[in-house]
Amino acid sequence: MLDFAIPAMQQRHLIKHLLIGTLALGTSTLATAQSEKEEKLPSPSATEDWSFKPPLVTPGETSAQPPSDAIILYSGSSDLDKWEHADGSPVKWKADGDALTIFPKATDIRTKQKFGNMQLHLEWRTPDPSEDKDFNRGNSGVLIMGLYELQIYESWNYSTKIYYNGQAGSVYKQHAPLVNAARKPQTWQTYDVIFEAPVFRADKTVEKPAYMTVLHNNVLILNHVELKGPMVYQGYPKYKYHDAKLPLQLQEHGSRVSFRNIWIREL
């Protein structure tokens, strides 16, 4: 009987070479698979989208100027014919140059044109605090679709005490702002708003709620917050069916708040 026993030294060399060969084979197989995977990638043109050409829009030369596709709602007294009181009567607020100031007890005003999804720019200024009572300082509001209120209030440095979801920049009684970015009274302030209108099903139930994003004086204060329904002062908001487009409304609440440079881009 022949003895084919391999000496221990040779066994170790053989095992080493077998392991190296196995690793090399595995590496080669992995490289081949990777190469095949890369070869199966689509061409760059397969992911190029030529189906929609975005229209040209010219931005304003300054932050105070609207873009070329904006609907100008107020830039001076000549724009008063774009607004009315709820009863359809002409606006009784005071137009002075490029500013429109609330006349107390003259009631809210609204646009004659109706809007749904929108980008809204609006500038506002609260009056001398000595004019107003302690809990009604610079009180007004932007009622988008006449229903969803973005609060206007004299909230600089928390000088006026009010619940946080009622201060400037709040979705009234629903969402407090992330930060208080208010300026001093009698100083112009800006709101830049992205509003997504609610969507209703055929049976008039809510398919998608409304959402709002707001920058106050160029500071993000509301980040795509979900609205629980139209504004209510007492009780809890809930949705009721309404048209897809409704007027923008500015609230008269007894304080001589002023507005200027109001424009909308329909989305």
Instruction: Render pLDDT for 178-199 as a digit per residue (tens, 0 to 9).
Output: 999 999 999 999 999 999 999 9
Task: Check whether 113 has a pLDDT greater than 90.
Answer: yes
234 is a domain residue: yes
Distances (CA, A) of 28 to 14, 18, 32, 63, 227: 21, 15, 6, 60, 58
Other CB atoms within a 10 A radius of the CB of residue 171 amount to 24
35 is a domain residue: no
248 is a domain residue: yes
185 is a domain residue: yes
Q: Which domain holds residue 159?
A: 71-266
28 is a domain residue: no
Give me the number of domains the chain comprises.
1
Q: Encode pLDDT of 228-265 as tens digits.
A: 999 999 999 999 999 999 999 999 999 999 999 999 99
Question: Do the Cβ atoms of 132 and 139 come closer than 8 Å?
Answer: yes
Q: What is the CATH number of the domain that holds 250?
A: 2.60.120.560
212 is a domain residue: yes
The predicted pLDDT at position 28 comes to: 60
Show contacts of 95-98: CB within 8 Å, 24+ apart.
98/260, 98/261
Give which of 214, 241, 229 is closest to 148, Cα–Cα: 229
User: What ranges make up the beta strands (E) of the chain?
Assistant: 71-74, 83-85, 94-96, 99-101, 109-115, 118-125, 140-144, 148-152, 189-196, 199-200, 206-208, 211-216, 219-226, 246-250, 258-266
The predicted pLDDT at position 167 comes to: 97
3 is a domain residue: no
The predicted pLDDT at position 22 comes to: 52
Phi-psi bin for 16: left (phi > 0), alpha (psi -120 to 50), beta?
alpha
Q: Which residues are bridge partners to 114 per DSSP?
A: 247
Q: Encode pLDDT of 3-45 as tens digits.
A: 555 566 565 655 555 555 555 555 566 666 566 566 789 999 9
Q: For residue 177, name the pLDDT band (cuts at 50, 70, 90).
A: very high
The predicted pLDDT at position 37 comes to: 61
The verdict on pTM exceeding 0.75 is yes
125 is a domain residue: yes
